Structure formats: structure tokens, C-alpha cells
Amino acid sequence: MSAAVVPTVRIQREDFDVAAEIARLTQGRADIGAVVTFSGLCRDEQGALAALELEHYPGMAEAEISRIAVEAVQRWPLQGLTAIHRHGKIAPGDNIVLVVAASAHRQAAFEAANFLMDYLKSRAPFWKKEHRADGSEGGWVDAKEADTKAAQRWKPSE
């Protein structure tokens, strides 16, 4: 058995490079058979949105995503796990979030990436505010019931 995987979690204003993040997990090793990446991007909402402003709780954002990532590493046999979340003003088409999960076989990587995103959406302290293309302030994005439900499906059954 290899040593316990320590997830990489970064909260940053700047963009990330998906290929570089995959390479960081896979370089120099031959035991990884599957890498799943998820990227979340800013949509323009049919041209109505000029930008999203992402506010976060410094300190807790890192801590909470790390707690979720450690749980993922305990639940699935992973060989690497990275989560990056941006904050600040993000334009349509630009990256917001990245998850990279690496494992020997694909199922663990798929499930861990899915789990991490579902939990991150309902537990990581980030809030999106819309800036509308017409110059008006769009207000805060409402949390979706569907995201809460998506996180609940990973709870172990009683």
C-alpha cells in the first residue's frame, strides 16, 4: 500500500491550468490508471451576465474544502486529489473551480470528483454575486435546493 494521499487545496484569485494540474498528479508515476477532472466555468446567461463576483471566507474556505477532500480520500482508493476554487471577479467563459481525482481504476476517480463537487457546492463558504450586462446590480445568487439534495445522496444510509 502507498502512503495516505494528502489532497491539494488552493483558494486563489488567479486562473488555473488544467493540464498543468493533471501533470502535477501524474508526473513520474506509472500506477495511475484514471484521471477525472471537473471544471466549473462562469456562464453568460444568454448575454445577460457581465461577471460573477465570488466572495469567500478566508481561512474557512480552505479548511472546509480540505475537510471534504480528506473525506473523499478516506472513502475512495485515490492516488491524488486536487481542488482549486477561485474568488474575486470572474468573467463569462472563465474558470471558477477545478477538481482533479486520480486513481488506479476509473470508478473511484469519477465518484470522488462528483462527491467533492456536490459537497463543495453546499458547504464551502463562497457566495456569488451577479453583475448584469446592462450595468445594473444583479444581486446574490440563490442557493439551489437541487444542490443540497445532490450532497445528501452521499450520506451513508442509516
Partner 1 sequence: MTTRLIYFAWVRERIGLPEEDVDLPAGIETVADLLRWLKSRGEGYEHALQYPDVIRVAINQEHVEHREKISGAREIALFPPMTGG
Total Cβ atoms within 10 A of residue 61: 20
- Judged by CB, which is closer to partner 1: 35, or 54? 54
Binding to partner 1 by CB under 8 A, coded x per residue (else -) over 31-70, reads ---------x-------------xxxx-xx--xx------
**Closest distance of CB 62 from partner 1, Å:** 9
# residues contacting partner 1 (CB under 8 A): 28
DSSP string, the chain: -PPPP--EEEEESS---HHHHHHHHHTT-S---EEEEEEEE---TTTTEEEEEEEE-TTHHHHHHHHHHHHHHHHS-EEEEEEEEE-EEE-TTSEEEEEEEEESSHHHHHHHHHHHHHHHHHHS-EEEEEEETTSSEEEEPPPPHHHHHHHHTTSPP-
**Closest distance of CB 157 from partner 1, Å:** 22
**Closest distance of CB 143 from partner 1, Å:** 3
**Closest distance of CB 61 from partner 1, Å:** 8
102 belongs to the binding site for partner 1 (CB under 8 A): no
Contact positions toward partner 1, by CB under 8 A?
40, 54-57, 59-60, 63-64, 85, 96-97, 117, 120-129, 140-143, 147
